[in-house]
Amino acid sequence: MNASRTPSEARPPRMEALARLPVFYTLEGKRTIVAGGSAAAAWKAELLSAAGAIVDVLCETPGEEMLALSQEAPRGAVYVHTRRWCPADIEACALAIGAFDTDEEAAAFASAARAVGVPVNVVDKPAHCDFSFGSIVNRSPMVIGISTDGAAPVFAQAIRAKLEAFLPRGFSLWTQAAQRWRRALKATDLPFEGRRRFWQHFTARALMHPDHEPQLEDYTALLDRTRDEGAAVSAGSVTLVGAGPGDPELLTLRAVRALQSADIILIDDLVSSEVLDFARREARKMLVGKTGYGPSCKQEEINMLMVGLAKSGKRVVRLKGGDPGIFGRAGEEVAACRAAKIPVEVVPGITAAQAAASRLSISLSHREHARRIQYITGHSKKGQLPSDLDWHSLADPHVTTAIYMPVRTLAEFVARATEAGLDPKTPAAVVVNATRANEQVVIETIATLPEAIARLDINGPAIVLVGHALAEGDVVAANGWSHPRHGTHD
C-alpha cells in the first residue's frame, strides 16, 4: 500500500543570482548631466532625451554628434555648456553620465556623484559605474533591455537583433492603446476577473494582428466580448495542462498561456521545476504529488481540491508531467469537473514515449519494422503488473511498445512477454528523465534490460521502448554509443 500525503503549498525556488538588477528609470522632466562631448557621450545623451529627461551636457569641445543632438533632441531638451564639469553640477540630478579618457577623471566624477547620492555611469569604465546601459529593443512603451554584465556586448547585440526581428513594430501601437484604455476600463463595472479577462482578449488580438493600429472600435469590441461572457468571467475553471517530459522549451504555446493566466497551479511531482518559470508569479502553487511506490495524494482528494477551488471562482491549472491523457488520470479529473458543472479544458503535452524516441533519434513507427505503436502501463492501481495486458499483441514483432511506469515490474513483464512469443533479442531501451539535464539512456535487448535497469540509480520518470524500430537510424553513431544494442549515455 502506498503511503498517503496531503496537498501542500509549493514554495517557489528562490531567484537565482543576478549579475545586475534590471530596472527602468522614470526620467520624464528630470534633470540629468552628461560630462563629455564624444560620440559615445552623445549616444548616452540621446538615450536620456528619448526617455524624457532634461540633459545638461558639460564639455569644453563638444563633437559634431553632440551639437547636432542639441538641435534635434528626440524628446527631452539637450543643453550643451562649453565648460568642464564641477561637483556642484551633479547635485539634484537624477543620473550622472561621464565619458573620459583617463581613469583619474573618471574616478573623480564617480566619487563626486556618489558623494551626493546620484547614480553614476562612466562609459567603458565599469569600475566607476553604479549602473549600466544594456542593448535596447524599443517598442515603446514596451521596452526590453539586455545585459551581459559587460562580459559579451556583441552577444547582447546579437540577441537584440533576434528580438528586433521577432517582435513586430506594431506592438508599440498596442501598448500605447493599453495605456489609453487602462483608465477607461477601470471605470467600468467589470469585476477584477472581468478586467483581467479583457486584457487576455486584448493580448490575443494583439498577437494575432500585430500590425493593426488599434482604434476605439477595437476597445469596444473587446469590452463587449468580455461582457458577453457574463458570469463565466467570474466563474472558476480547470485546465489540465501537459507539462511535457521536462525540457521547458517543449511546452506548447497554449500551455504557456494557461500557466500565465492561472490563479492556482496544482503540480505533480514529475513536473520539472524549470517549467514553473513560465507560470504567473502571483499564482499560488500547490504540490499534489502522485509518485509510484511513494507517498501520494489520493486522487479523490485532488479532485475535491480542484473542484472546490474552481467553485470559489479560481482559474485552476492542473499541471501534469507528459500528456494528461496518457496515463495521467485525466479522465477521472475531467469527469469530476463535469459532475460539478465546472468548465474544463485539456491542453496536450509531449508524452514520454515521444520524448524518449527523440533522444534516441528514432521513429516509433517504421514502414518495415513497426506498423503499429502501443502505449501500456507497467503499473496497475495496486502497484503490480496489470493482469489484463494483451500478451499476444505485445509479442508482435511489427509493433513498437512504450511501457510507462516500468521499473518495478519490468522483469515480470519480460518473462510473461517472452513466454507469449516476444523474441528475447528484440531491441529495447530505457530513458530516465528524458530531455532533462540528468537524462540517462540504456540500450539493450528486452531480455537483458531488467538487469541493466537494476544497476541504475533512478530518480525521476522512466519509460521503456521495445521494438525493432529502435535498431534503425544508426542510433550508435548519432549518440556516441559503442554498440547498437548495448551501452549507456548520461
Cell numbers at residue 219, please?
A: 476597445
Counts for the chain of helices (H) and strands (E), in that order = 17, 21
Q: Give yes or no for a contact between 214 and 202, defined as CB atoms under 8 angstroms apart.
A: no
Q: Other CB atoms closer than 10 Å to residue 458's CB: what's the count?
A: 13
User: What percent of the residues of the chain are helix, what percent strand, and what percent coil, each to the nearest 5?
Assistant: 35, 20, 45
Give residue 482's pLDDT: 34
CA distances to 253, 415, 433, 440, 447 from 420, rounded to whole Å, are 43, 9, 30, 30, 14
pLDDT in tens, the chain (490 residues): 455 677 777 776 677 888 889 999 999 999 999 999 999 999 999 999 999 999 999 999 999 999 999 999 999 999 999 999 999 999 999 999 999 999 999 999 999 999 999 999 999 998 999 999 989 999 999 999 999 888 888 999 999 999 999 899 999 999 999 999 999 999 999 988 889 889 989 998 998 899 999 999 999 999 999 998 876 656 789 999 999 999 999 999 899 989 988 999 999 888 888 898 889 888 899 988 765 555 678 889 999 999 999 998 889 999 999 999 999 899 999 999 999 999 999 999 999 999 999 999 999 998 888 889 999 999 887 888 998 999 999 999 999 999 999 999 999 999 999 999 999 999 999 999 999 999 999 999 999 999 999 999 888 899 999 999 998 644 444 444 333 333 344 4
* Rounded distance between C-alpha atoms, residue 320 and residue 299, angstroms: 13
Which of 312, 316, 314, 318 has the alpha carbon at shortest distance from 331? Answer: 318
* Rounded distance between C-alpha atoms, residue 84 and residue 101, angstroms: 14
What's the chain's Rg over C-alpha atoms? 30
Give residue 485's pLDDT: 37
Q: What is the side-by-side strand order in the sheet with 399-404?
A: 372-377, 399-404, 462-466, 427-432, 440-445, 487-489
CA distances to 102, 302, 332, 343 from 336, rounded to whole Å, are 72, 10, 6, 11
Q: Give yes or no for a contact between 308 and 232, defined as CB atoms under 8 angstroms apart.
A: no
Give residue 270's pLDDT: 83
Half-sphere exposure of 72 (CA within 13 A, CB side): 3
Residues in Cβ contact with 181 at an 8 Å cutoff, skipping those fewer than 6 apart: 202, 219
Catalytic residue set: 268, 290
Encode 365-383: b = buried (16+ Cβ within 10 Å), e = exposed.
ebeebbeebbbbbbbeeee
DSSP designation for 438:
T
DSSP per residue over 7-25, as a string? -EE-PPPPPPP-SS-----
Cell numbers at residue 253, please?
A: 504555446
